[in-house]
Amino acid sequence: MGATTASAPPPRAESSMSTRRVVLRFVLAFVGGYAFSAAVSNALAVVLARAGLEPAEAAVLAGMLGVLIYLPTLLWAFAARRPRQAALLLLVVGACAQLLASQWLPEQPPAMQVG
């Protein structure tokens, strides 16, 4: 759809995008990125638990990886040249991951530690 339109003052290096676009980028990066990394970490937790890792270990590892996935996703979403494409990608992959996580639960709930 052509180059990003600059706001009324001449384009400067620091704000070559209008405020509205920056806010949308913010939302995509922070909120969208979070939702995406949460969904992916959920899927990871379930996959690891199913693959044989102890359930607590799987959850702990997936949580840590969720943090590590969030940062590059955030940076990429903010800097992506085509934000609509980026948003769509995050949405589709995230939705698939979440679907995987919710549908493919481990067979038995883990037993509580018995004293």
Binding site for another protein (CB under 8 A): 12-17, 22, 26, 29-30, 34, 37-39, 41-42, 44-46, 49, 54-64, 66-67, 70-71, 74-75, 78-79, 101-102, 105-106, 109-110, 112-113, 115
Concatenated DSSP letters for 58-84? HHHHHHHHHHHHHHHHHHHHHH-S-HH
**Whole-number minimum distance, CB 47 to another protein, in Å?**
10
Distance CA 51, CA 53 (A): 6
**Whole-number minimum distance, CB 59 to another protein, in Å?**
4
Give buried/exposed letters for 70-95 (b at 16+ CB in 10 A, else e). beebbeebbebeebeebbebbeeebe
**Whole-number minimum distance, CB 95 to another protein, in Å?**
14
**Whole-number minimum distance, CB 82 to another protein, in Å?**
16
Name the β-bridge partners of 15.
Answer: 12
Q: Output 30 or 89, the one with its CB closest to another protein.
A: 30
